[in-house]
Structure 1
Amino acid sequence: MSPTYKWLGGIGYILSFIPYVNFVSSILIAVAWILMGKDTREKVFTVLGILMIALFAAGIALVVTIFTSVFMMIPMGGMGPSAEFFERIGPLVGTLIAVGGIILGLVIAVFILDIIAHFRAAKIFDNKWFKLGGWLRIGEIIALVIAIPLIIISIPSSGLGGLPSAPGAPGFPMEILLSILWPLAIFLIVALLATIFSIVAFFTIPEEEETGRQSAFEVEF
């Protein structure tokens, strides 16, 4: 019998590539990790899934806060902002900063646990694809660390300062923009491969009757 999380995880990672429905992927992936944690008694899987759901909820809260802030910034009746406006917008800005900070912390925690979970799953299921997915996630960090300085260094030498500010505007050479952002493409390729390996990893989880996996307390990272 196939474990449910095998299909939830695989489908979830596939949906992450599809616009407008990729927001559903985070829920499916989170549930898959939680079910995997319940099945294997591996707490890191469960914690990862819970944090993914928390990150999803925080993202929704951030969007709601932004829309509320924008609505509050619209002057009523064509009049300038009143004292009441500033009294209302102050707490919203504070909330926006707080939610943003929470999201940043959750993103870092989820990313770290995601790497650990992939290596743990590789040992539990004897699945090389989970291990490759874990290594590629480490590669994402390395690629991003390398890409950011390269982009910063490329900007002064690109002659971008003397060109129109809007990409696509007359006189704005797209090749210059590409020459600046090409290091970011390496990061995106590594991230793409990491997701693909995660898809393969979940779909290749052994059937329950064929799995001689170890208990969580027997697995060492």
Structure 2
Amino acid sequence: MKILLVEDNPELTQNVVNYLSAEGIICESATTLFEAQDKILSFGYDCILLDLMLPDGNGLDLIEIIKSQKIKTTVLIISAKDALDDKLKGLDQGADDYLPKPFHLSELLARLKAIFRRSKLGGFDEVVFNEITIEIHQLLAKVNDQVLELTKKEFDLLLFFITNKNRVLGKQAIAQHLWGDYTDDLANFDFVYQHVKNLRKKITGAGGKDYISTVYGIGYKFDPLAS
């Protein structure tokens, strides 16, 4: 899961980033509406953690940008503004949930996982695709009931492929999703090839089909029709 935290409180930002990172979640941050807008237009995120009171504007304006640009992401509002009007306005504009400050980090994580299940996994903790089964909370992947010995990145890569099946995924997009936005400045993405190669080898080694096809010059595609 890849998150953008839009929050101008440096202490809260550091606490959230550290906690989510320890849970295996990539968490980028932005302190202003302008910085957040630049990031969501440049990179993809599974969820935006959005404060309403920002130095240069109202966080609700970011939801309007997300809607107008048809950006595929979810929004969890986190704000000390607990007025009913603000909560209703945010949800009415398209936010997926609202978590008032102060909050426990464990509750934040639970809300994020719930939003991810609803938006990506149809509300389920288990993803089943033909002979492949992924158990999200257990970080477990199986092929024909045989457990795959995957690294965390390989597990995330498999989930990313399956939830984006039939879509061509560029190497840069894969790198950004799994390692964060800093990869934008790298000269090449050879490490993506190695992770894809390892994942493909482990799936086929367990008797699964090779669903991952290479799209020359672009990246990869998880093809459900693979023979």
Structure with bigger gyration radius: 1
The structure richer in strand per residue is 2
Q: TM-score, normalised by structure 2?
A: 0.24
- Larger RCO: 1 or 2 (CA < 8 Å, sep 6+): 1
The structure richer in helix per residue is 1
Q: TM-score, normalised by structure 1?
A: 0.24
